[in-house]
Structure 1
Amino acid sequence: MLVVAGVLFLVAAVRVITGAHGITSVGQTSTALRLAVPIGLAGLGGLWAERAGVINIGLEGMMILGTWFGAWAGVQWGPWTGVLVGILGGALGGLLHAIATVTFGVNHIVSGVAINILAVGATRYLSSFTFADMEGGTSKQSPPIESIGRITVPWLSDALDTLNDKHWFLVSDVAGLAGGLVTNLSLLTVVAVALIPFSRWALWHTAFGLRLRSCGENPSAAETLGVNVYKYKYIAVVISGGFAGLGGVFLAEVASNIYQEGQTGGRGYIGLAAMIFGNWMPGGLALGAGLFGYTDSLNLRGGGQNVHALLLLLAILLVLATAWALYRRKYATGAVSAVTGLVLFVWYLSVDEVPSQFVSAAPYVATLLVLAMSAQRLRMPRANGRPYRKGEGT
């Protein structure tokens, strides 16, 4: 929470210095949340699988299955049926991954990549004789899906929007952040956000979660204590696919109201990056998804001006990172941070608006920078990705 408060203070200062008031507006926060949810759900799916010791590179393919099955059922039987069927579609991809990796011992990376390829081909084939035969659909997109419903807290939303328009230091920025959380909020967003504390509780505060995590840390020791390692790995990977499928449903039913080929746009991979940034913890994962969603939203709202302000923010953060690295006597890391920060600061001073190509690439550049800066503190589950066979520890 201290880190979040510190970053919010810096963002408020950058907004005042640059005059880019859109970076903390209600609309910016609302858009960032909508873009962060599918990334967060994919990352949450990766978290469940990897806590049980199974690397899930196939999150992207499971999201694709979620978008297609969610849209297919949503068009015919309504949006909430689409949500359930989309989760099942993603879980089916998770089941295939579990069969390949847990039962047959296939390399986790190879299996995940195969599922990604299979999902693209399968959904393209299915669309050719389902959506193409529906009114308003084609072989590459579905007919429109009924809205899943949105909520707004009227009096609170109006008050926060008014306060945000005052452009007061920090106060208006907090109002913009809070306003985005109570304005035009999809019901599916509420469900997705609630899954973060639920996963924390289920994995760290229940006997089920302890057994599941033991399979990712030391499966041989877990086996000697009577834990059915195969069963827990299967459960974790199927749940992982279900979460990724829900992220795909969100893209089809909330982010837009149709299924389109290529709709996921690599969000499964970014979700995996958010999970790693969050150190395999739900809270850190949520922060990572929020960061990537926010940088992506800058591309959609305000474009060059907002990303230009982001250059100054990154330069300041890198200065702080340099000071911290020097304090811990990590001189090489400090030197890299200092040089990168100086380059960004000079770039900020030399231009008034960044090129559109960099605006589009900003989310991916932010992903690389954040992962590079956080790599020193990461610790994945000890047995993550290692093949396991029953009785090998006895």
Structure 2
Amino acid sequence: MTRVGKYHLTLIGVAALLLLMSLVRIITGQNDITSSGTFYAALLLAVPIGLAGLGGLWAERAGVVNIGLEGMMVLGTWFAGWAGYQWGPVAALVAGLLAGAIGGLIHAVATVTFGVDHIISGVAINLLGPGATRFLSEVLYKEGTPAASAGAGITTSPAISGSTWSPSLPVLSDGPDLLGKLESTHWFLLSDLAGILRGLTHNVNILVLLAVLLLPLTYFVLWHTAFGLRLRSAGENPWAAESLGVNVYLTKYIAVVVSGAFAGLGGVFLVFVSTKYVEGQTAGRGFIGLAAMIFGNWRPGGLAAGAALFGYADGLQLRDQKAVTSFFLFGAVLLLAYLVMRARSLLTAGPGAEPAARGARQYTLMAAAALGMVVLFWLWLTVDELPNEFVFITPHVLTLLVLLVASQRLRMPKADGVRYRRGEQH
């Protein structure tokens, strides 16, 4: 399929998804499904997930598994809060980036130089991040210190001094709120489109815009520059890259340090939203970012879709817990669409077009999808409101389900997680 054909298919998919969301909103009566408030919350929740996933993308495209993104985000949040209350938001941004980059550097030293197992090193950083930040908080924020008199505690920093550096985008946020008026009409499709556009453009701050721009920038650097080609070759076959003169060690170091900086930037964003550091505010977003990257098949576009999905699920449950039950109907309709496409594909192919084993697997998947569709539709008809415990874990359950489905089509870099030594051959 040509690149233009893929773009057209993506646009058709987005249009179909918007139509489906509008239809589900009309049927269920849950206006928060496409409200501007839900999509604004989803945007704020998706940005740190996307930044963490972007960090994972850089590292794993260079062949280094980075499950230490959570610990690097924690370092970014603490140092952003510490520097921000003393010198303002610009210092918070620089400190958070540097802290995350240092976490990435530690991971690179352990995995690239000393050949430590990538998973063990990542787990160690996830333990080091919260431990180091708690120690620093107990030393610098204890009672009697200037920070404590400014409102700090062992689990929180003082508020960032000055403005939180979050100006709105001009043009999109200024002037009469035409999108808000159109959203309030609750017309089919038109109000849904207005609500989505308003949520994604109204009062959008510079850090959100920066995070969004980093996605196409990453795609350009990794897929359209000589440096990006060298980096991806280090993740596919570092020994072949070495034979062509690529400094694989340096390339891996750069990729993992950049990876940590992106995770640290995700931590800075969390501090800017809450205006201070709070212990535990990452809430596993580093792990969800890693899941979004895997869902996106190690590509920026798929990563953005995964982060948006997880952010939307989290935003909807925060806005309206009753609206979460609409996921049942939404999932049932998606499974129905999958069954229709699979049935059409089998009918077009004709008998004997596929090997028997593959055909049996396809029929098994279709049967499972049909059963899931019936169960989800029955739950939507019978369940009015989910218990709070189930609502709270909705994003995490969605993460597991998406990874389960996405795992059927994934292709990770061939040398991802492989120990590299110059001159060796595998």
TM range (shorter): over 0.9
Report the CA distance between 1:2 and its aligned residue.
Answer: 2.4
2:236 pairs with 212, 217, 229, which one?
A: 217
2:179 pairs with 127, 144, 160, which one?
A: 160
Deviation per CA, 1:148-175: give whole Å up to 9, x if none.
2230534567111111111111111111
Code of the residue aligned with 1:322 in structure 2: it is: L
Report the CA distance between 1:393 and its aligned residue.
Answer: 3.1
| Superposition map of 1:373-388 within 5 A | 373-388=405-420
- 2:124 — aligned with what? 114
Separation in 2, partners of 1:178, 1:164:
10
Q: Which secondary structure state, in structure 2, belongs to the residue aligned with residue 185 of structure 1?
A: coil
1:334 matched to 2:366? The reply is yes
- 1:291 — aligned with what? 309
- 2:355 — aligned with what? none
1:204 matched to 2:223? The reply is yes
Listed as ranges, the gaps of 5+ residues in structure 1 are none
Separation in 1, partners of 2:245, 2:86:
45
Separation in 2, partners of 1:385, 1:154:
45
Report the CA distance between 1:287 and its aligned residue.
Answer: 0.6
Report the CA distance between 1:35 and its aligned residue.
Answer: 0.2
Separation in 2, partners of 1:157, 1:368:
42
Separation in 2, partners of 1:229, 1:94:
17
- 2:106 — aligned with what? 96
| Superposition map of 1:1-394 within 5 A | 1-132=11-142, 133=145, 134=147, 135-146=150-161, 147-152=164-169, 153-155=172-174, 158-254=177-273, 256-303=274-321, 305-326=322-343, 327=345, 329=359, 330-393=362-425
Separation in 2, partners of 1:130, 1:270:
31
Separation in 1, partners of 2:176, 2:104:
39
Moved more, 143-152 or 290-299: 143-152
Code of the residue aligned with 1:6 in structure 2: it is: A
Q: Which secondary structure state, in structure 1, belongs to the residue aligned with residue 408 of structure 2?
A: helix
Report the CA distance between 1:353 and its aligned residue.
Answer: 1.8
Report the CA distance between 1:357 and its aligned residue.
Answer: 1.6
Report the CA distance between 1:58 and its aligned residue.
Answer: 0.2
Report the CA distance between 1:3 and its aligned residue.
Answer: 2.0
Code of the residue aligned with 2:50 in structure 1: it is: G
Q: Which is greater in Rg?
A: 2
- Inter-CA distance 352–286: structure 2 relative to 1 (3 Å threshold): same
Deviation per CA, 1:346-380: give whole Å up to 9, x if none.
11101222222221111011111111112111111
| Preserved CA contact (<8 Å) 2:173 2:203 | no
Deviation per CA, 1:220-276: give whole Å up to 9, x if none.
10000000000000000000000000001111112x111111111100000000000
RMSD: 1.4
Separation in 1, partners of 2:55, 2:176:
32
Aligned length, in residue pairs: 392
Listed as ranges, the gaps of 5+ residues in structure 2 are 1-10, 347-358
**Structure 1-normalised TM-score?**
0.97
**Structure 2-normalised TM-score?**
0.90
Separation in 1, partners of 2:71, 2:208:
21
Structure 1 runs (4+) deviating above 6 angstroms are none
Separation in 2, partners of 1:272, 1:314:
23
Code of the residue aligned with 1:236 in structure 2: it is: A
Q: Which secondary structure state, in structure 2, belongs to the residue aligned with residue 167 of structure 1?
A: coil
Code of the residue aligned with 2:57 in structure 1: it is: L
- Inter-CA distance 157–356: structure 2 relative to 1 (3 Å threshold): farther
| Preserved CA contact (<8 Å) 1:131 1:143 | no
Separation in 2, partners of 1:154, 1:332:
50
Separation in 1, partners of 2:210, 2:179:
23
Separation in 1, partners of 2:88, 2:365:
53
Report the CA distance between 1:297 and its aligned residue.
Answer: 0.4
- Inter-CA distance 288–156: structure 2 relative to 1 (3 Å threshold): farther
- Inter-CA distance 174–224: structure 2 relative to 1 (3 Å threshold): same
